[in-house]
Each structure stands twice: as C-alpha cells, then as structure tokens.
Amino acid sequence: MKILFICSQNKWRSLTAERLFDEHPHYEARSAGTEPGARVRVAAGHLGWAEIVFVMERRHADRLHEKFANELRGKTVVTLRIPDKYPFGDARLIALLREKLAAHLPLL
C-alpha cells in the first residue's frame, strides 16, 4: 500500500512518519509539505501515487483540498491531529504516530 504523509515543512512530522516505513514489507511511504519552503513540496504527482493520505493537522487537509481537489477525488485523507512541537525522530512523536496510525494501517 502506498501512503503519503503531509505536514507544513516536511522536516519533522511527516518525514519522521515516512521513515517509520523504511523497508516495511507491506507499506511504501513518502512525505511532503504544504508550504513554499518545504523540504519536498506536495505536488499532484504525490497525490496520484498515494492510496491513502495522512495529514498532521486539519489545515493541511484544507490546503490539499483547495489546491488538489481533482487529485484527491476518491482518496482517503486522514487527519492525525499531531501538533508541530516534536523534532525529527523524537521518541514521543514516533509513539504518537504508531498509536494514531494503528487504526488505519493494521500491518504496522
């Protein structure tokens, strides 16, 4: 399954989430950000690739729907409600991601 993680800058939250799936046998993950200065800025191709999209905050989902309504048609977009207060790789962030993703990704 192809999963995409979205946050603002693609430096902390979404990148940490992507790294959780490095070499995972059942999930292929990528990440991107919604803001102009993002490490990798989300584009239509990311959304076309993904089977499910996870956003960290409601505002990320809103931005995606505003800019990529056609590309999101028929896609599942899940808001994880993870605030921007954890640095990349933070153990608390990883635990929170695992907890919130478990309901959506049973093979995690």
- pLDDT range class, residue 108, cuts 50, 70, 90: confident
Cβ proximity of 67 and 53 under 8 Å: no
100 CB contacts (<8 Å, ≥6 apart)?
80, 81, 82
- Over residues 71-75, the mean pLDDT reads 95
pTM of the entire predicted model: 0.96
The alpha carbon dihedral of 106, 80, 15, 35 has a sign of: positive
- Over residues 84-103, the mean pLDDT reads 96
- pLDDT range class, residue 106, cuts 50, 70, 90: confident
Of 28, 30, 43, 32, nearest in space to 9 by CA: 32
| CA 69/CA 106 separation, integer angstroms | 28
Q: For 3-57, how does the pLDDT look when each residue is reduced to its tens digit (9 = 90+)?
A: 999 999 999 999 999 999 999 999 999 999 999 999 999 999 999 999 999 999 9
Cβ proximity of 19 and 99 under 8 Å: no
H or E element, residue 70: helix 69-72
